[in-house]
Amino acid sequence: MKLPRAFYRPLAIGAPEPLREVPVRLERMIHFVPPHIEKVRAKVPELIHEVDVVLGNLEDAIPLDQKEAARKGFIAMAKASDFGSTGLWTRLNALNSPWVLDDFTEIVGEVGDKLDVVMVPKVEGVWDIHYCDQLLAQLEARYGVKKPIMIHAILETAEGVKNVDEIASASPRMHGMSLGPADLAASRAMKTTRVGGGHPDYQVLSDPDGDRPRQSAQQDLWHYTLARMVDACAANGLKAFYGPFGDFSDALACESQFRNAFLLGCAGAWTLHPSQIAIAKQVFSPDVAEVLFAKKILAAMPDGTGAVMIDGKMQDDATWKQAKVIVDLARHVASRDPALASAYGF
């Protein structure tokens, strides 16, 4: 096991010091763009003002014969714009693919200083993170990159879920994790053909009761995994994200999946279609009434201790902490969104 003292040392001579904390940034939606399509790249300068993170996708959904074009397109789009406070991420090809080594070397070599995060698909255990960590350090050193490029793991294999705690604590370079329900469903042999969301047949049924019709209710296929991922991330100071929702025609179901993730502790979700941006923005920005109530709690307990009653509800040190999570997030959202800033009363 690596000694604690060595944990925060750079892994290559000349690589930047690893970060002690994940940078505080608003990441309500990670918006996927296919960078091999020139028409899509041309829209990136506008997109930067609409989303919190722009991600150039190199992995699944990019056709085999477009893999090189996607990488080149990502480098071009990274060079072409100033991203300001909007995150710039890429989803690399899988570590066992023939493209990933060039993804790493060409992207870090060309735009390493602009890149915030690499999303690594199909992470199965610490060995995957250690490989990326070492390679990124070598490339940062070679190309004089000034700040460490962070790693975001997609949790999308049964083995990855089994090892989620170790993955979360594998390196100071870890930014967070996203649930990848499509690959995870395949890896687990789930009998579905969907990209995230529920399934009408995943139900619990009430007991028989004479002639009365039996009640049934659909359950959440992803609750267990999401909760494990949130705990692993929170315990290690990382951020958890719901991944893709593939049915673009069902905005309500997308909103419901995103909201469950938000309530459970996630910071954001992927948006694969422009229509999902507004959904993510709304869901992952705290509700105005909730923020106003949380502000009341903080105001009533200035030092965060004791017990008070507000609107008939008991508040104490623990609800003060919950309120602080909401108000801190609201303040952060407000810094990017003037309309919400005034609704929140900042």
Which residues form the interface with ligand GLV (CB under 6 A)? Answer: 60, 154, 156, 180-183, 195, 243-244
In the complex, minimum distance from the CB of residue 223 to ligand GLV, in angstroms, rounded to a whole number:
16
CB closer to Mg ion, 258 vs 270: 270
Give the nearer residue to Mg ion in terms of CB position, either 128 or 183: 183
The angle formed by the CA atoms of residues 184, 95 and 1, to the nearest 5 degrees, is 90
User: Min. distance of Cβ 120 from ligand GLV in angstroms?
Assistant: 11
Min separation Cβ 5 and ligand GLV, Å: 36
Pairing of the two strands 313-315 and 308-310:
antiparallel
Shortest distance in whole angstroms from residue 122 CB to ligand GLV = 8
Q: Minimum distance between the CB of residue 97 and ligand GLV, rounded to whole angstroms?
A: 14
Q: How far is the CB of 154 from ligand GLV (least distance, A)?
A: 5
Residue 180 within binding range of Mg ion, rule CB under 5 A: yes
Three-state SS at 283 = helix
Segment 145 to 164, residues that bind Mg ion, using CB under 5 A: 156
- 297-267-319 Cα angle (round to 5): 20
Choices 36-44, 98-106, 173-181, 309-317; region in contact with Mg ion by CB under 5 A: 173-181
* Cβ neighbour number for residue 301 with a 10 Å cutoff: 19
H helix and E strand count, the chain: 15, 12
Residue 111 or 184 with smaller CB distance to ligand GLV = 184
Q: How far is the CB of 279 from Mg ion (least distance, A)?
A: 21
Instruction: Say if residues 149 and 11 touch (Cβ distance below 8 Å).
Output: no
- Tokens 């309309």 locate to 339
Using the minimum distance from each CB to ligand GLV, give the nearer residue, 145 or 254: 254
Which lies closer to ligand GLV via its Cβ, residue 116 or residue 183? 183
Closer to Mg ion by CB, 118 or 294: give it: 118
Alpha helices for 174-310 (secondary structure H): 181-187, 223-235, 251-264, 275-283, 288-300
Out of 183, 257, 271, 279, the only residue in the binding site for Mg ion (CB under 5 A) is 183
Q: Rounded CA gap, 66 and 61, in Å?
A: 10
Q: Which does 243 bind (CB under 5 to 8 A by kind): ligand GLV, Mg ion, none?
A: ligand GLV
Question: Which of 87-95, 110-118, 157-165, 175-183 is the region at the interface with Mg ion (rule: CB under 5 A)?
Answer: 175-183
Over the window 101 to 140, marking each residue x when it contacts Mg ion by CB under 5 A and - when it does not, the resulting string is: ----------------------------------------
Rounded alpha-carbon distances, angstroms, from residue 103 to 38, 48, 56, 97, 306: 19, 23, 12, 10, 54
Q: How far is CA 179 from CA 27, 102, 125, 222, in A?
A: 15, 26, 15, 9
Nearest to 17 by CA among 141, 106, 176: 141
Residue ranges in contact with Mg ion by CB under 5 A = 156, 180, 183
